[in-house]
Amino acid sequence: MLIFKRMILIFIMFFIMISLISCQQAETPDPMDQTDPTLPTVSIPAMFNDGFDFIRGRDSYHVHTMLDIDSDNNSFITKHRHTVLFADSFLKANIVNDLGEIYTRVGIIDGDAYHIYKQGSSFIKGDELTDIERRFSDYDQPVFGLLRSTTVDKITLVENVGMLSYTYEEMLNKNPFILYLIDEWMKLEISEDPTPDLTLVDFNITVTMNDGIPVNFQRISIDIKDYLAVKFPLSSIPQDQYRDAKLIFDFAYDTYTKDITSDTQLIEDDHPNALQPNHMASISIKQDMTTLGQYQHDFDWFKLILTEPKTLTFLTNETLHTVYSFYNQNDLTKQIGLFDGSSYALQPGTYYICVQTTHDVSQQMTFSLNEQ
C-alpha cells in the first residue's frame, strides 16, 4: 500500500512539472522585454514604469528621432527620422514623412529585416536593413534601455519631468547604440577627431512624461554638446563652438493601421537600393542596360570597371522622371557629374552609376555608355 501511494505521488509531481514546462513554452515574449541582456534589472521611478506599461499595452506608437544641432556661426545640422512601430512579428515599422505618409515599411522575412515599398497595389521587397536601421525599428526603442538601467537615486523628479546624467563610460557600457547613432549621423557632416579624450564628457538626459492618465512618454532629450565638441570639433571657423546639440525622441500615440501582413505577396526589387558592390550588375561599354523604376525613390545601382583610360558619353531613353549620377569608388562623397550628354574622361578604376526614379512611376529605362 505504501509503495502504491509513493507511485501516485511521483505521478502527480511528474504531471505538475510537465504542466509548468508547457505553460512556459506557450508564453508569448513581451516585446518590451526584448532588451540588451547585459542591462541590469533595477528599481526605476513609478512614473517611468507607468510609461513602459502604457507602451506595453499598445499595438503601435510613433517615435520622431531628431539630431538637432546649432553653433555660434549659425550653422545647423538637423536629421529627422519618423517611425511608426508595431508590436507585430512580421510588420515591425512604417518609416513615414512629416505628413505621416509611408515611405517604406520594415518586414521580417526568414529572420531578416527588409525594406518593403509600395507601387499602386503592388509591394516590392527591397534591401536588407543594416544593423543600425534594424535597431531603429525595434518596438522596444534603444533609448528606453537608458531609463531601465538607471537607479532611483540618480534621477531628479520635478512634477512630470525626470532628469539624470551618464558619463561617457556609463553610456558606452549601458547603451553604445546611442553613441553609434550619433557618430553615424555626424560623420556625414563633420570629420571626427581620431584621438578624442572623452573621459570627462557627460550626457544629461531629460525625460518628459505627460501628467494625465494613463502616464506615457512624451519626449526623451539627450544633451550631446560636450560629446560633439570633443569628438567632432568644428573647424570651419576657429572660434566656432557648438551652441546647442541634442538627440531627441518624441513620442505620439495615435491609431496606426497596417497595409501588409505576412501573407502579402511581394515582388523582388530588380536592383539594390543601396551601394552593394558585390550585388550590383556590371555595365559594359556600348551595351544597353535596362532597369525598372518600380516606385518613387527607387535607387538602382550599377558598376563600371575600366582597365584603361576612356572618354565616355551617356545615352538614355528617359530623363523626365529619372536622375542619373555616377561616382568614383575612391571618393563616394562627390558626384563626378550627372549623365546629361556631356563627355567624361575617366581613368582606370571602378565607378558606380545610380539611377533614381524621382516620381511615382513604374516604367522601364534603357541607358548605355558609349566611347567617344
Listed residue (79, 117, 78, 114) closest to 357, CA to CA: 117
Three-class SS of residue 144? Answer: helix
Grid cell locating 150: 538607471
**Bigger pLDDT: 95 vs 189:** 95
13 assigned to some structural domain: no
Is the domain of 167 the same as that of 285?
no
Range in 297-301, 316-320, 337-341, 349-353 the model is least confident about? 337-341
245 shares its domain with 306: no
Whether the predicted pLDDT of 48 surpasses 70 = yes
pLDDT of residue 356: 77
For the cut 50, the answer to whether the pLDDT of residue 35 exceeds it is: no
Per-residue pLDDT band for 321 (boundaries 50, 70, 90) equals low
Residue 3 belongs to a domain: no
Cβ neighbours around 360 below 10 Å, total: 14
CA distance 148 to 36: 11
| pLDDT at 82 (0 to 100) | 95
If asked whether residues 232 and 285 sit together in one domain, one would say: no
Contacts of 80 (CB under 8 A, 6+ apart): 64, 65, 66, 98
User: Quick check: 297 and 357 in contact, CB under 8 A?
Assistant: yes
For residue 341, give every residue at least 6 positions away whose Cβ sits within 8 Å of its Cβ, in sequence order, or none.
313, 314, 315
Q: Residue 2 domain-assigned?
A: no
pLDDT in tens, 131-162: 888 888 999 998 998 898 888 888 999 999 99
Report yes or no: 264 and 329 within 8 Å, Cβ to Cβ.
Answer: no
Which of 204, 225, 252 is at the close of a domain? 252
The CATH number of the domain holding residue 362 is 2.60.120.380
| 225 and 122 both lie in a single domain | yes
Q: Are residues 192 and 70 in the same domain?
A: yes
Which residues lie below 8 Å from residue 23, measured CB to CB, with a gap of 6+?
none
Q: Is 8 contained in some domain?
A: no
As for how many domains the chain has, the answer is 2
Share of the chain above pLDDT 90, in %: 36
Check whether residue 192 and residue 47 sit in a common domain: yes
pTM exceeds 0.75, yes or no: no
Q: Are residues 247 and 274 in the same domain?
A: no
Burial class (CB in 10 A: 0-12, 13-18, 19+), 273: buried
Report pLDDT digits (tens) over 252-296. Answer: 999 899 999 999 999 887 777 777 767 777 888 888 887 777 777
* Residue 20 counted as domain residue: no
How far apart are the two ends of the chain, measured CA to CA in Å? 103
Per-residue pLDDT at 182 exceeds 80: yes
Is 284 found in the same domain as 141? no
- How far is it, in rounded angstroms, from Cα 216 to Cα 252? 9
Q: Are residues 349 and 232 in the same domain?
A: no
CATH code, 194:
2.50.20
Q: Domain end: 223, 252, 281, which one?
A: 252
Edge-to-edge strands, sheet with 363-371: 289-293, 363-371, 310-316, 344-346
Note the pLDDT of residue 341.
67
Which range, of 71-80, 265-274, 279-288, 331-340, averages the lowest pLDDT?
331-340
Domain extent for 278: 270-371
- Give the pLDDT mean for 22-34: 42
Among residues 182, 185, 177, which one has the least CA distance to residue 149? 177
Which of 221, 252, 283 terminates a domain? The answer is 252
pLDDT of residue 302: 85
Is the pLDDT assigned to residue 226 strictly greater than 90?
yes
332 belongs to a structural domain: yes
Beta bridge partners, 100, equal: none
For residue 17, is it within any domain? no
Any domain includes 16: no
pLDDT value of position 237: 56
Same structural domain for residues 101 and 182?
yes
What average pLDDT score do residues 77-85 get? 92
**Residues 120 and 85 occupy one common structural domain:** yes
**Whether residue 86 sits in one domain with residue 184:** yes
DSSP 277: G
